[in-house]
């Protein structure tokens, strides 16, 4: 897709602030520093619309981006970062659960997993959570440029096995550095619009 328009609509700290423009929403979930902002920026050909941070746990709000007046990309807070207080972690959990379970315009959730490591307990929890509410999950295995090409299939197989992916789920290896996987991800996202 040729992206000519992408803008931050709102940074929502509670569900009353969620936009009500009825655009198809595609949410991006993943643990802190897995590359959510980098993936969003690559997909929309922008360097820094979604702000990247080297400080894990920085995004504590849900950020909504209008893409081409067709989709809203929704950047969920990163999870699994220990320095954040337990109370804050629990309130994030409720906030995200409400969004994932009750948002009728949410049509696809993209779960990012670092291809170099087997999915963590938090990753499994998040996958189970998403798959409870949604018939399919798109898993994007990030940082694929950091491993040897000959190792990719093995690492993908580990992710599939640990998360126990269903036949309706998809997994796409991706690199923000080389843009590998970008076209496949867009093909899938474009198909959501066609199904509406």
Tokens for 108?
């696809």
Pairwise pLDDT comparison (67 vs 194), residue with the higher score = 67
| Nearest C-alpha neighbor of 63 from the set 44, 82, 80, 86 | 44
| Nearest C-alpha neighbor of 195 from the set 69, 26, 53, 27 | 26
The pLDDT score that the predictor gives to residue 89 is 65
Confidence band for 96, pLDDT divided at 50, 70 and 90: confident
Distance of CA 131 to the CA centre of its chain: 14
The pLDDT score that the predictor gives to residue 18 is 92
Domains of the chain and any CATH numbers:
6-195 (3.40.50.300)
* DSSP string covering the chain: -----EEEEEEESSGGGS--S--EEEEEEEBTTSSHHHHHHHHTT-SSSSPP-SSTT---SEEEEEETTTEEEEEPPPB--TTS-HHHHHHHHHHHHHHHHH-TTEEEEEEEEETTS---HHHHHHHHHHHHH-S--EEEEE-GGGS-GGGHHHHHHHHHHHHT--TT-EEEE--TTT-TTHHHHHHHHHHHHHH-
pLDDT tens-digit profile of 111-151? 999 999 999 998 999 999 899 999 999 999 999 999 999 99
pLDDT tens-digit profile of 3-36? 889 999 999 988 889 998 789 999 999 998 899 9
pLDDT tens-digit profile of 181-195? 999 999 999 998 767
To the nearest whole number, what is the mean pLDDT of the chain?
88
8 Å CB contact between 11 and 74: no
Question: Is it the case that residue 53 has pLDDT exceeding 60?
Answer: no
The pLDDT score that the predictor gives to residue 88 is 65
Question: Is it the case that residue 47 has pLDDT exceeding 80?
Answer: no
What is the mean pLDDT of the segment spanning 82-109? 79
Tell me the C-alpha distance between 70 and 95, whole Å.
25
Tell me the C-alpha distance between 161 and 154, whole Å.
11
Tokens for 18?
């969620």
């Amino acid at each position: 897709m040729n992206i000519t328009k992408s803008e931050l609509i709102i940074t929502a700290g509670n569900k009353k602030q969620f936009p009500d423009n009825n655009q198809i929403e595609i949410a991006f979930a993943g643990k802190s520093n897995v590359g959510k902002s980098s993936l969003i920026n690559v997909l929309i050909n922008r360097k820094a619309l979604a702000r990247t941070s080297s400080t894990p746990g920085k995004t504590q709000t849900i950020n909504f981006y209008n893409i081409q007046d067709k989709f809203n990309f929704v950047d969920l807070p990163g999870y699994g970062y220990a320095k954040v207080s337990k109370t804050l972690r629990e309130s994030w959990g409720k906030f995200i659960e409400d969004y994932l379970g009750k948002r009728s315009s949410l049509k696809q959730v993209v779960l990012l997993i670092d291809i170099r490591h087997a999915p963590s307990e938090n990753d499994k929890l998040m996958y189970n959570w998403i798959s409870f509410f949604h018939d399919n999950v798109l898993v994007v295995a990030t940082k694929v440029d950091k491993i040897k090409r000959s190792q990719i299939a093995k690492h993908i197989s580990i992710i599939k096995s640990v998360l126990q992916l269903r036949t309706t789920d998809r997994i796409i290896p991706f690199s923000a550095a080389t843009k590998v996987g970008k076209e496949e991800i867009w093909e899938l996202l474009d198909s959501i619009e066609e199904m509406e």
